[in-house]
Amino acid sequence: MSDVSLPDVAEDDLYGPDNLPYGVYTTDAAPDRRRIGVRYGSWVLDVGAAAAAADHPWAEVLSAPSLNPLLAAGRPAWREVRAAVRSWLTDAARREQLAADGLLLPLDASVTLHLPFEVADYVDFYASEHHASNLGRIFRPDSEPLTPNWKHMPIGYHGRAGTVVVSGTPVKRPSGQRKAPDAPVPDFGPSRRLDIEAEVGFVVGGATEPGTAVPQTALRDHVFGVCLLNDWSARDLQAWEYVPLGPFLGKSFTTSVSAWITPLDALDHARTEPPARSHELLPYLADGEGSGVEAAGLDLRITVRLNGEVISEPPFAAMYWTAAQQLAHMTVNGATLRPGDLFGSGTVSGPEVATRGCLLELTWAGRDPVELSTGKRTFLEDGDEVTLSAWAPGPNGTRIGLGEVTGRITPAA
Ligand SMILES: O=C(O)/C=C/C(=O)CC(=O)CC(=O)O
Ligand SMILES: [Ca+2]
Ligand SMILES: [Mg+2]
């Protein structure tokens, strides 16, 4: 008889057998040995060691210190590994054996989670009509809220892959050029308008050759899974620098992602129709019948907490552009994909105030502070902690947890 407590999950666990997200962890006993883990309830499976013990064909890829080799292996590998892990973890005797062998460990303080993949290229989109209209009104009050291109293509920019960090990493307040609208010249100093952006990140695998356009129908061949993403944004730096090339230093200092990557295959019950289109789309972006991709929208329910208090609940189902359209658009010019590419959805904002995904919108540029039990907030103060969490509908009324991404603001140097 083994003396380990039985690893099991309740039916309503956010991390049951229909979820099985991937992460990378170390233990206090082996702090230098990064391993790929699959989360099962409040347990983590050492999937490389479990696959090696089972002589699984993808054992070598699963024994890497990051998810990149698995991302490179492509969809057939993702499916085979997911099916194998599911079969191991839904077999109670096998689970008990894995725990007895030390391959299924409690997710406790002795386990440290790391950035699960090396980020190749990072792109951030701007796909919520509510967010884009609100930002247009705030940043460009004398123009139409949406630019003329907005409903014809998913607008995006290339971000800084090297500053993507895992949940829990402190976020140092950036310094830079700030210029108030009525000031004659800019000054330099710590951002006074530090903000969040609640987003969903899409993790890409399966490389392409230069010159290849990836159609929407290939979404599942290239999107391995989703994470939560906070695109920390210094609004004062951004407002002064962004004309005419777009966001730069105001967003490149830190981008935080959740430690667990939920496979796209775990989100089948969350698929939804995107909103109705008011403009006819070019064929490579057409949805519904024209695209061959049914229901590429996703019903993910996000919660934003500031110092533990809920300040917003952005609905991902309200996004105008889908991940399939974003993937098709970012490769339509023949740009390659690399394993580890990451694209952000853009800030997720719904139609109501309490569903807006950033403080700039929630407070209308500081005019209407958010009320916390500890006082009012316009933008973030040093010591503030922001946590995004989310879940999606799963089979039979269950919920699929998308983990959380958290970060605390530390003072500028
Ligand atoms: O409209 C602008 O000038 C700027 C918009 C953003 O800050 C958007 C951005 O990072 C994209 C997004 O998250 O939706
Ligand atoms: Ca953003
Ligand atoms: Mg960023």
Per-residue pLDDT of the chain (413 residues), as tens digits, is 334 467 889 989 999 999 999 999 999 999 999 999 999 999 999 999 999 999 999 999 999 999 999 999 999 999 999 999 999 999 999 999 999 999 999 999 999 999 999 999 999 999 999 999 999 999 999 999 999 999 999 999 999 999 999 999 999 999 999 998 899 999 999 999 999 999 999 999 999 999 999 999 999 999 999 999 999 999 999 999 999 999 999 999 999 999 999 999 999 999 998 888 989 999 999 986 666 676 789 999 999 999 999 999 999 999 999 999 999 999 999 999 999 999 999 999 999 999 999 999 999 999 999 999 999 999 999 999 999 999 999 999 999 999 999 999 999 98
Q: Is 350:314 a contact under the CB 8 Å cutoff? A: yes
Which residues are annotated binding-site positions for Ca(2+)? 124, 197, 199, 231
In a domain, 1, yes or no: no
Position 304 scores a pLDDT of 99
Mutate to test the pocket of ligand 1, among 122, 125, 126 (most ligand atoms within 8 A of CB): 126
Same structural domain, 255 and 402: yes
> Closest ligand to 127 CA?
1
Same structural domain, 233 and 339: yes
Alpha carbon of 238 to ligand 1 centroid (Å): 9
End of a domain among 82, 114, 146? Answer: 114
Q: How far apart are CA 165 and CA 256, in angstroms?
A: 5
Same structural domain, 294 and 389: yes
End of a domain among 95, 114, 133? Answer: 114
Same structural domain, 95 and 190: no
Ligand 1 shell residues, CB under 6 Å = 124, 126, 131, 135, 139, 197, 199, 231, 233, 242, 247, 251, 346-347
Position 3 scores a pLDDT of 41
Same structural domain, 228 and 93: no
Q: Which atom of ligand 1 is nearest to 197's Cα?
A: 13
If one counts the domains in the chain, the total is 2
In a domain, 14, yes or no: no
End of a domain among 63, 97, 114? Answer: 114
Same structural domain, 151 and 215: yes
- 309 CB neighbour count, 10 Å cutoff: 13
> Can you give the pTM of this predicted structure?
0.97
As beta bridge partners, residue 359 has: none
Q: For residue 314, what is the domain's CATH number?
A: 3.90.850.10
Same structural domain, 349 and 316: yes
Same structural domain, 51 and 152: no
In a domain, 392, yes or no: yes
Alpha carbon of 234 to ligand 1 centroid (Å): 11
- 157 CB neighbour count, 10 Å cutoff: 16
Alpha carbon of 60 to ligand 1 centroid (Å): 40
In a domain, 151, yes or no: yes
In a domain, 53, yes or no: yes
Active-site residues: which are they?
131
Mutate to test the pocket of ligand 1, among 231, 235, 241, 321 (most ligand atoms within 8 A of CB): 231
Position 294 scores a pLDDT of 67
Q: Which atom of ligand 1 is nearest to 250's Cα?
A: 7
In a domain, 406, yes or no: yes
Alpha carbon of 398 to ligand 2 centroid (Å): 30
Same structural domain, 81 and 133: no
Q: For residue 77, what is the domain's CATH number?
A: 2.30.30.230
Position 290 scores a pLDDT of 62
Position 181 scores a pLDDT of 86
- State ipTM: 0.91
The closest alpha carbon to 165, from 412, 413, 406, belongs to: 406
Same structural domain, 335 and 375: yes
Q: How far apart are CA 201 and CA 342, in angstroms?
A: 7
In a domain, 46, yes or no: yes
Full residue range of the structural domain in which residue 58 is found:
22-114
Same structural domain, 204 and 139: yes
Same structural domain, 302 and 393: yes
- List, in sequence order, every beta strand (DSSP E) within 134-292: 156-158, 164-166, 171-172, 175-178, 187-190, 194-195, 198-204, 223-230, 233-234, 255-257, 262-263, 271-272
